[in-house]
């Protein structure tokens, strides 16, 4: 009996701890539910209300990921980069969606996969909620980081809704939950390192990179805060999932897979060309390579990490530098897609939310929304690129964490990771971390 009672007590404590965690993340969880409800309502009604059409508003890009998920579910990971999938990122998101794809197959649900167009594919009842919950899960990471940095309860609530509105177009309009899911995992890795949990950080980085390698732009900055003794282990854990998921198709179909991954083709006639297109390799009359621009962005990220190694910024300073690194990806892209702006703008709003003044958050969010609205306009190369860069630059200026946070001002003691929040705006009794 004593042993059974001890087990019951332990289970009760675990249940109580889980309940406290859920209550602490109440607002991002509510925002995720709202994101799902509004997203699905938009999907089912927009075409009918605006265009008097009976079709649904479903992002076309998601179907390539859905097709790749079928290949994973059928046990053919090596075929995820076939011509019928058009997948160009790492296959982590396809692995996550594979069980749903098999359920869809079992139920014989319809799909709108090229060349067969279906106006109201029944598989959307499964796929739509899944990608909206996966994409909006980054709200949990934003809230956790804001809490760690000392943001008040009011700030955290405002941040949840501001980010949910800002990032609506990334998933619901464009169908790219992997960008936001990977960003959320990477930010949780920052939290893990701040709490001295290097092994957890390594696995989080491994999951993030396997879903969307875009987050590699943040890794050099994170690497600085990992204890020297743990760095090799973190790197191995961060690389392992991608080595398995990408190595399998490379060994199975080297020519097809390497062509897709190394070329990183984009289409200026469909998307938004920038002046960098003049330096991009051309693979056909309609496709150019995005690889050189992304290598430049990675070089900027490494350069920022070298500077940070010397300056030793605080956590909020590192996050701001991370926003700069993600923005650099947009600065150097030869062909822009509007959803590329999602991650850097989300990071800008996150850093602005922990600044002392509310006006920083409100103004940064307004600039981010203006950039999002502008990003869908079709203009000339310079006419598109210059305003886009200006929007990002203004956003970064508004999120500026200060010279001390970046290590630019001399200080006699190490800078704490928490920002000072006015006493009347700080949530009394709220646990941090």
pLDDT of residue 255 exceeding 70, the answer is: yes
Cβ proximity of 102 and 147 under 8 Å: no
Token readout for 14 is 């675990």
Q: What is the pLDDT of residue 58?
A: 93
Query: Smallest Cα–Cα separation from 159: which of 314, 404, 355, 340?
Result: 355
pLDDT at 262 over 90: no
C-alpha 10/C-alpha 408 separation (Å) is: 48
List Cβ neighbours of 251 (8 Å cut-off, separation of 6 or more): 78
31-52 pLDDT tens trace: 999 999 999 999 999 998 999 8
| Better-scored residue on pLDDT, 429 or 66 | 66
* Distance from C-alpha of 172 to C-alpha of 130, rounded to nearest angstrom: 11
Phi, psi of 357 (to 5 degrees): -100, 140
- Output the CA–CA distances (angstroms, integers) from residue 195 to 47, 120, 201, in the order listed: 47, 47, 10
Per-residue pLDDT at 419: 40
pLDDT of residue 265: 83
Distances (CA, A) of 332 to 19, 163, 322, 326: 45, 25, 16, 11
CB-based contacts of 60, cutoff 8 Å, min separation 6: 175
pLDDT band per the 50, 70, 90 thresholds, residue 8 = low
Model confidence at 299: pLDDT above 80? yes
81 in Cβ contact with 260 (< 8 Å): yes
Preceding omega of 274 cis (within 30 degrees of 0): no
Q: What does pTM read for this prediction?
A: 0.90
**Taking residues 333-338, what's their average pLDDT?**
93
Query: Are the beta carbons of 58 and 128 closer than 8 angstroms?
Result: yes
The more confident residue out of 207 and 433 is 207
59: left (phi over 0), alpha (psi -120 to 50) or beta: beta
Q: Say what the pLDDT of residue 257 is.
A: 87
Distance (Å, whole) CA 400 – CA 383: 26
| Predicted local distance difference test score (pLDDT) of residue 14 | 67
How does pLDDT run across 92-128, given as a tens digit for each residue? 999 999 999 999 999 999 988 767 788 899 999 999 9
Pair 348, 395: CB distance under 8 Å: yes
User: How buried is 19 (Cβ within 10 angstroms: 0-12 exposed, 13-18 middle, 19+ buried)?
Assistant: exposed
d(CA 373, CA 399) in angstroms, rounded, equals: 20
Q: What is the DSSP letter of 265?
A: E
When the pLDDT of each residue in the chain is averaged and rounded to a whole number, the result is: 88
Q: pLDDT (tens digit, 9 = 90+) per residue, 404-421? A: 888 887 653 444 444 433
Instruction: Give pLDDT, residue 178.
Output: 96
Tens of pLDDT, residues 228-251: 999 999 999 999 999 999 999 999
C-beta neighbour count of 285 within 10 angstroms:
6
Rounded Cα gap, residues 419 and 313, in angstroms: 13
Compute CA 47 distance to the chain's CA centroid, rounded to the nearest angstrom. 27
């Amino acid at each position: 009996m004593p042993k059974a009672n001890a087990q019951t007590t332990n289970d009760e404590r675990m249940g109580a701890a889980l309940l406290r965690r859920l209550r602490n993340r109440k607002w991002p969880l509510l925002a995720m539910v709202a994101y799902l409800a509004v997203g699905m309502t938009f999907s089912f009604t927009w075409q009918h209300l605006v265009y008097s059409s009976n079709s649904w508003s479903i992002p076309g890009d998601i179907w390539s990921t859905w097709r790749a998920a079928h290949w994973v579910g059928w046990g053919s990971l090596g075929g995820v980069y076939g011509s019928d999938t058009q997948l160009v990122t790492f296959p982590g998101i396809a692995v996550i969606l594979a069980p749903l794809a098999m359920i869809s197959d079992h139920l014989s649900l319809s799909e709108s996969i090229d060349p067969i167009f279906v106006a109201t594919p029944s598989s959307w009842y499964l796929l739509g909620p899944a990608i909206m919950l996966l994409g909006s899960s980054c709200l949990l990471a934003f809230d956790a980081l804001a809490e760690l940095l000392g943001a008040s309860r009011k700030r955290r609530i405002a941040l949840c809704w501001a980010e949910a509105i800002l990032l609506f177009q990334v998933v619901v309009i464009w169908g790219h939950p992997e960008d936001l899911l990977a960003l959320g995992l990477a930010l949780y890795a920052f939290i893990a390192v701040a709490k001295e949990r290097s092994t957890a950080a390594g696995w989080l980085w491994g999951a993030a990179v396997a879903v969307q390698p875009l987050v590699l732009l943040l890794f050099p900055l994170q690497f600085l805060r990992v204890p020297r003794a743990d760095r090799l282990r973190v790197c191995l854990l961060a690389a392992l999932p991608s080595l398995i998921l990408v190595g399998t198709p490379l060994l199975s179909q080297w020519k097809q897979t390497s062509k897709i991954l190394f070329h990183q083709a984009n289409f200026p006639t469909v998307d938004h060309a920038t002046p960098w297109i003049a330096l991009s390799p051309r693979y056909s009359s309609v496709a150019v390579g995005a690889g050189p621009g992304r290598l430049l962005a990675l070089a900027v990220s490494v350069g920022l990490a070298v500077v940070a190694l010397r300056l030793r910024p605080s956590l909020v300073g590192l996050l701001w530098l991370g926003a700069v690194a993600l923005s650099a990806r947009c600065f150097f892209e030869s062909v822009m897609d509007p959803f590329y702006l999602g991650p850097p703008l989300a990071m800008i709003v996150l850093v602005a939310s922990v600044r002392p003044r509310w006006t920083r958050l409100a103004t940064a969010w307004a600039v981010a929304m203006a950039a999002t609205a502008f990003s869908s306009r079709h203009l000339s190369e310079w006419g598109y690129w210059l305003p886009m860069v200006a929007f990002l630059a203004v956003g970064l200026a508004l999120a500026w964490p200060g010279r001390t946070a970046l290590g630019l001002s001399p200080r006699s003691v190490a800078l704490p990771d928490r920002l000072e929040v006015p006493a009347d705006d700080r949530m009394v009794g709220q646990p941090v971390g």
